């Protein structure tokens, strides 16, 4: 941890005169760097999950985090086999490498109970945006603008219809290096 702190200190002092930058920007950058260092060293609840590490390695290989392409990865299987757990663990490990990261849980259930607009609003709420979406088309437009030139990590958990993906994660919306992980029981996407 001390080594990571030294790297962070070096990053903010070598060749980057802090006095010439906006104070809010500097504070935000420092907080993000420290948060990423602290989060990566926290214990995770995956410590006692048998076989999870090999599955995470496979998902990470598919995601190709270093590539600038936009990548969608699906985790498919019957209920109860650990799709959500796997997606959440991958999300926790890599979310610090993205400008925007959001885990949308229980998409099938929430979509059926409250509608797709509720899920679009969940994304805005998660990102602390003061906007509210009132219809699906407007939601698509707002999410497109929000994600457009950003490196985004989005998990769409338990999707069961392609229309959910069209309203929450259209491939055209994302900036370079974005990753979308979809868990589903339906392999026909």
Q: Domain of 173: which CATH number?
A: 3.40.50.300
- Note the pLDDT of residue 25: 82
> Tens digit of pLDDT per residue, the chain (189 long)?
455 555 555 555 555 555 567 888 888 888 888 877 776 555 555 556 777 888 888 998 999 989 999 999 999 999 888 899 999 999 999 999 999 999 999 999 999 999 999 999 999 988 877 788 999 999 999 999 999 989 999 999 999 999 999 999 999 999 999 999 999 998 765
Query: What is residue 22's predicted lDDT score, i.e. its pLDDT?
Result: 83
Question: 59 and 27, same structural domain?
Answer: no
| 24 and 57, same domain (yes or no) | no
Residue 169 is assigned to a structural domain of this protein: yes
Structural contact between residues 121 and 47, judged by C-beta atoms closer than 8 angstroms: no
One domain, residues 93 and 26: no
Q: Which residue has the tokens 């200190």?
A: 9
Measured over the CA atoms of residue 38, residue 122, residue 159 and residue 143, the dihedral's sign is negative
Give yes or no: residues 82 and 120 share one domain. Answer: yes
With CA atoms as reference, report the closest residue to 73 among 165, 145, 176, 147: 165
Contact between 175 and 152 (Cβ < 8 Å)? yes
- For residue 42, the model assigns a pLDDT of 55
What is the model's pLDDT at position 176?
94
Helix (H) or strand (E) holding 118: helix 116-126
What residue has token string 């929000």?
146
The residue to which tokens 């598919």 are assigned: 62
126 plus 160 within the same structural domain? yes
pTM of the model: 0.73
| Residues facing residue 120 across a β-bridge | none
Residue 46 in domain: no
Let me know whether 63 and 116 are in one domain: yes
9 Cβ contact list (under 8 Å, min separation 6) = none
pLDDT of residue 106: 95
């Amino acid at each position: 941890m001390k080594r990571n702190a030294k790297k962070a200190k070096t990053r903010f002092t070598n060749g980057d005169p802090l006095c010439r930058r906006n104070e809010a920007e500097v504070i935000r950058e420092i907080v993000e760097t420290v948060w990423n260092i602290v989060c990566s060293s926290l214990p995770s609840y995956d410590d006692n999950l048998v076989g999870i590490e090999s599955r995470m390695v496979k998902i990470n290989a598919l995601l190709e985090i270093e590539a600038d392409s936009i990548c969608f990865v699906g985790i498919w299987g019957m209920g109860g086999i650990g799709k959500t757990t796997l997606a959440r663990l991958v999300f926790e490990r890599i979310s610090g490498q993205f400008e925007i990261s959001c885990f949308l849980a229980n998409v099938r259930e929430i979509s059926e109970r409250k509608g797709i607009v509720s899920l679009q609003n969940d994304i805005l709420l998660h990102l602390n945006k003061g906007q509210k979406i009132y219809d699906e088309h407007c939601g698509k437009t707002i999410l497109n603008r929000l994600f457009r030139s950003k490196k985004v990590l989005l998990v769409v958990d338990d999707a069961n219809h392609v229309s959910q993906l069209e309203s929450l994660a259209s491939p055209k919306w994302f900036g370079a290096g974005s990753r979308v992980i979809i868990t589903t029981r339906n392999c026909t996407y």
